[in-house]
Amino acid sequence: ETGVTQTPRHLVMGMTNKKSLKCEQHLGHNAMYWYKQSAKKPLELMFVYNFKEQTENNSVPSRFSPECPNSSHLFLHLHTLQPEDSALYLCASSQDRSNQPQHFGDGTRLSIL
Amino acid sequence: RKEVEQDPGPFNVPEGATVAFNCTYSNSASQSFFWYRQDCRKEPKLLMSVYSSGNEDGRFTAQLNRASQYISLLIRDSKLSDSATYLCVVSPGANNLFFGTGTRLTVIP
C-alpha cells in the first residue's frame, strides 16, 4: 500500500484538452516531485516543491503547470500537450533533507492523441 | 555525459544464481546513492540505500566506490520474484535525484 496516491491512473486526452493530474501523500513529508518516465529513458525530474515552494523547474515547457496548495497535495495541470508528452507521470515525496529516499506513487499513464 | 549510466541488460539468469549490476556516475560531489526496483508498469520502489562502507540486506549487497565513481548491487541466490528493472539513483543534494535508465533482470526457472 503506497503512501503516495495518484489519480487518475490512466488518462487519454486530445492535444486541445485541459486536464489535471493529482497527487496526495500521507507520509508527513515536506518535499514533493513530478517525474516523467518515457520508454527507454531515465526518469526525468520535472518539478520539485519543498514546504510548498517550488525549488526546481527543469526546463519544463509551459504547457505543464504545477500547483502545490499544501505539503500533502500536488497537481500537474496540462494544456495543449503534444504527442511526445505521452508517458508515465510519477509523483514522489520525501522528507525535506536531501539524503532521504523518495517514495513514489503508482503514476498516471498519459496518452496524447 | 549522462549523470548516471547503467548497462540496460537484459540479464537473464537461472534461479539460484548470483548476479551483479554496476552503475557509474559523473558528479564527484554526489552525496547519496540508492538502488530502486521497478516492476513492469509499476512505480519505482526503494530497494536499499548505499553507504560508503557498503551494506547488506538479506541476499542484496550494495557497494560504493567514490574514487572510481561507481555503485554496485549484488544479488545472491536469485529468486523468480527478483525479476524487475533495477534503477541506480544518485543525488548531489538539494532534493535532486538522477536516475539511470535501469538494468533489466529476468530470473529463469
3-state SS class at B81: helix
Q: Which of A101, A28, A20 is nearest to B49 (CA)?
A: A101
pLDDT band at B95 (very low <50, low <70, confident <90, very high): low
List CB contacts (< 8 A) between B100 and chain A: 42
How does strand B44-49 pair with strand B32-38?
A: antiparallel
Query: Does the beta-carbon distance from A98 to B42 stay under 8 Å?
Result: no
Query: Does the beta-carbon distance from A43 to B44 stay under 8 Å?
Result: yes
Cα distance from A28 to chain B (closest Cα, Å)?
16
Cα distance from B79 to chain A (closest Cα, Å)?
23
Predicted confidence (pLDDT) per residue in B33-92, tens digit: 999 999 988 899 999 999 888 899 999 999 999 999 999 999 999 999 999 999 999 988
Of A43, A98, A104, the CB nearest to B93: A98
